[in-house]
């Protein structure tokens, strides 16, 4: 392609001194052996799993090489700091197969699921919806899956909410943290003009028609 240059792959380097050692290199995983190495950094920030802004974790999201349509594989990693060993180590790793079909791995920063991770990705068979998975960390170990189900959010259904937000009532219900009749959970970043939330067949929607 005219004008195209390969900037080269990225390596994740957690540096303590000026002597850089990139020991945490990205590459294929057991889950997705064909996943490309990282080529772009999407997110790098400190998040807190504790309700009092404690239990800090380092959140990194990277993207593989992008196609002409911008599609890329996204890797999400949470690192915890081991004070005894004086180093960071990954406690959660997730790879998506693409990014253009609303695939996501979201660290929950507020609410009853604070500190957990919600993963969603498209189903492989009609009627097309999304698989929903929730991962939680108990103590100082790695994240483990505590919930998996086929979501009610349809692919291309026109819902303005992100999949994790549209499925939040059902996620909380299955985890015993919400029941029908309770106030609907408010998305952390609702779409502009989303002043009223409604529930349709177990899925949360913005009711723009009521304006």
Per residue in 100-134, is it b (16+ CB within 10 Å) or e — as a string?
A: ebbbbbbbbeeeebebbbbbbbbeeeeeebbebbb
pLDDT at res. 71: 79
How many other CB atoms are there within 10 angstroms of residue 143's CB atom? 21
Taking the C-alpha atoms of residue 118 and residue 113, their distance in angstroms, rounded to an integer, is 9
Give the model confidence (pLDDT) of 166-204 as tens digits.
999 999 999 999 999 999 999 999 999 898 999 999 999
Give the tens place of pLDDT for each residue, 19-78: 665 654 555 444 444 455 777 888 999 999 988 888 999 999 988 877 777 778 889 999
Q: What is the pairing mode between strands 40-48 and 56-63? A: antiparallel
Q: Coil, strand or helix: which one is 173?
A: helix
Write down the pTM of the prediction.
Answer: 0.86
127: tokens are 């009627």
> Where do we find the tokens 């349809």?
154
Residue 4, φ and ψ in degrees, nearest 5: -80, 130
């Amino acid at each position: 392609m005219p004008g195209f240059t390969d900037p080269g792959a990225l390596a994740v380097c957690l540096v303590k001194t000026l002597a850089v050692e990139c020991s945490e290199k990205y590459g294929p995983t057991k889950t997705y052996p064909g996943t490309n190495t990282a080529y772009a950094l999407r997110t790098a920030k400190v998040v807190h799993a504790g309700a009092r802004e404690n239990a800090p974790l380092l959140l990194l999201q990277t993207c593989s090489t992008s196609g002409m349509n911008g599609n890329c594989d996204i890797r999400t990693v949470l690192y915890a700091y081991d004070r005894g060993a004086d180093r960071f180590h990954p406690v959660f790793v997730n790879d998506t197969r693409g990014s253009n079909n609303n695939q996501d791995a979201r660290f929950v920063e507020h609410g009853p699921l604070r500190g957990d991770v919600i993963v969603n990705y498209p189903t492989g068979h009609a009627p097309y919806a999304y698989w929903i998975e929730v991962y939680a960390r108990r103590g100082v170990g790695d994240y483990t899956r505590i919930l998996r189900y086929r979501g009610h959010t349809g692919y291309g259904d026109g819902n303005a909410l992100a999949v994790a937000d549209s499925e939040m009532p059902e996620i909380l219900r299955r985890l015993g943290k919400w029941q029908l009749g309770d106030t609907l959970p408010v998305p952390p970043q609702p779409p502009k003009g989303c002043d009223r939330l409604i529930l349709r067949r177990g899925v949360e929607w913005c009711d723009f028609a009521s304006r």
